Structures are given as C-alpha cells and as structure tokens.
Copies of this chain bind each other. A is one copy, B any other.
Amino acid sequence: MSANVHFPPPRRILMGPGPSGAHPRVLRAMTEPLLGHLDPDFLRIMDSCREKLRAVLRTANRVTLATPGTGTSGMEAAVMNAVQPGDDVVVGVCGYFGGRIAEMAERAGGRVTRVEAPWGAPVDPEAVRRAIRERRARVVAIVHAETSTGVLQPVEPIAAAAREAGALTIVDCVTSLGGVPVETDRWGADIVYSATQKCLSAPPGAAPITVSDEAWQRISSREVPPNSWYLDLRLLEAYWDERRTYHHTAPISMVYALHEALSLVLEEGLEARWARHERNGRALQAGLEAMGLTLHAQPGYRLPVLTTVKVPEGIDEAAIRKGLLERYSIEVGGGLGELRGRVWRVGLMGEASTPGNVLYFLSAFGRLLREAGFRADIRAAREAAAAALAG
C-alpha cells in the first residue's frame, strides 16, 4: 500500500451529484461469496432482479435488465442499440448529460439535431415536437433529471410526440429512479435507463435498462449490429432471459448489491420514497433561500434530489467545497461544463436524503459562507428547513 493511501477510507456524507452512500444491507450483500454466472442460484437472483426492476421502473416490459457497467453504460447501450447509421435523432439538450447523449448518437452514426434550452430550464416539448416532424426523427432522447443543472424535465409530452411520429423515445433516468416518479409505461417511453449509485443507493457498477416491445422489435431486426459487442442488447437479453447464452461474466457482487437495493426500495414503497425525497429536497431548498442564497434551476422544474445553488459574488466555489469535505466530511459537487465555478450541486439521494443531513448541511455550509464573507442567515435557514420538514 502506498504510504499516502488511506484505507479503509474516511467516512463521508455523500451529498454530491452521486454516488450517494450505500445502505449497510447493500454493502453486506456484497460480502457474500461469489457464485458462478451460470449457477442456478445466481440465475434465480437475476430473475428476481428483473422482477424488482420492472416494479421500480413501473413497466411490464419483458426486456428489463442491468448492463454490466456504470450509468453511462446504460446510456451507451440505449443509444448504440436504438440508433442505426443514418438515423435522424432528436436530442433535448439543457445540460451536460443531454450533450453526452448527442455525442454518443453521433458516434453511433446518427444525424443529430439538438433542441436546446438554457442550462437551468427544461427543454420545450413543443420545440422537440417540431424538430421530430421536421427531421422525421427515428429516435428521440431526453434527460428526465439533468444532474448538471438540477432540472426535472417533463417527459410525457415528448414521448407522446415521438410516438405519434413513429420515433422511439430514450429517457435518461439516472438521477431520478427511486427518488422522483419514473413512470415508464404511463409515459409511453421506449427505452429507460438509470444507474445504481444515485437514488437506489447501491455502489456504481450496473445500469438498469428497460426496452418496450416496439423498441425491441426494431432493435432485434437491425441488419447491422451495434458497434458495441459488450453492450449489444440482443446478446445481453439472451443471457438475462431463459436462453442463458453466455455473453459476459456478470458482475456477481454488483448484482447482489442491486438486488438488495431494489428490495430496500420496494420495502419502503415507491410512493413513500418519492415523498421522502420531495420533503427533504424542498426543506433544503427553503433553507438555502432563507439563508440568502439563490437557486439556479427554474422554479417549478426543480429536482428535489439535486439542488443547484448559485455561488454568490466574490465567493470561491472550490474553497467552500474543500471546507465542507475537510471540516465536515460532507461531499457536494461543483458545476459541470458551462456552470463550472458558478453553482454548487447538492444531492439528497437515497440513503443521503434525511432530515439530519438537511440540517447539518445548512449549518456547515452557512458557517463556511460566513467565514468567507457572505452574510448567511443560518438561523433563518434552519427555521425554514425545519418548518418544511414538519409541514
């Protein structure tokens, strides 16, 4: 071990844009000895995962599984399989992750039209509808919860517009699943993917994904396979379904972790979990505003699970984050892309979404801001947050 490595690592309160902390039951699940990836007992765990994924994703889709990689592998699987060379693709872009989808769609050979919105607002569904018509889009992609801006995107009108035009809809639910309502079937979304390390509170390393029958028909009748063999959904499904055709060695411990995390979500109940995230997120936001700070995302479209806060004039964004980490062992995120240095990103996801974290964070954050010269009203912040938590 190198002299400067601290292992076991320090304890952190993970209130950044992800990962969030994992539940002890999830960590314990990963200590169970490995099974082979074709062991009947492991296959039963996969089947059970599939069932639980359908419940959490609110879908009856047969093709529902987890790709063997982090959330970005889910994004890449969705894009690479749905987009065929020459396809017109419309991507809603109002932040970093929409931009990432657009880049992936170009690498997959798509002709990409970006429908943009300022970073902090949602994409206008009407603008997407027009672009779908004009470009005769085959695929439409949108980010439900834009982790770079803290914006919650209305999905249903976009999925409806795509469906009318015969296009498939891909929805990125990396940051929303398990924290805010994700309604795959009610939305009429074709491909929905997520990640384990946000509101599901498992470690990063697997990406839930579900595919509608219509999308599956198109994917399974491709003449040219996707460029990726690793993330070829036809090959992945042939392992996850009853054929059990060897494709890759499943990340066994991650599947244990995902299974346990999904169990925890369903034990809490999706509606109760959404309500918890909503209450704690609104309390944090009320506290931040009462402290004298300005939220970045447009009112009415603010995610409860990820809040973007503007950095006040004259305050060193990175120094405050460093203070939070070093003095309070709290991690928050800085801005990504064009918001770099301009906002903090404060997550309340999964296990991290607790009243205690809201109040502790407001105190620590307020104190550091005061020391840096910003007149943070910590008492008002605490009172506003407490009132929201009680209400």
Contacts and interface: CB of A to CB of B under 8 A. Distances in A.
A98 interface: no
Max count, chain B CB within 10 A of own CB: residue among A2, A47, A247, A263 = A2
A36 B7 contact: no
Given A31-B28, A44-B4, A205 B76 contact: no
Interface stretch (A103-111, A116-124, A276-284): A103-111
* Count of this chain's copies in the oligomeric assembly: 2
Contacts of A229: 72, 76, 100, 103-104, 107
Given A1-B263, A30-B30, A31-B27, A45 B252 contact: no
A103 B336 CA distance: 37
A25 to B, nearest CB: 11
Looking at chain A's contact residues, the main secondary structure is loop
Contact of A68 (B7, B73, B325): B73
Interface stretch (A12-20, A155-163, A177-185, A301-309): A12-20
A42 B227 contact: no
A257 B263 CA distance: 24
A6 B41 contact: yes
A12 B28 contact: no
Interface in A246-281: 246-254, 256-257, 259-260, 263
13 contacts: A7-B45, A12-B36, A16-B36, A27-B32, A34-B197, A68-B69, A68-B73, A69-B230, A70-B249, A107-B225, A197-B252, A204-B251, A230-B231
Given A9-B32, A19-B249, A72-B247, 6 more contacts: A12-B33, A39-B331, A100-B229, A107-B226, A204-B249, A246-B336
Q: Which 4 residue pairs are nearest across A and B when measured between Cβ atoms?
A: A227-B227, A205-B251, A203-B253, A69-B69
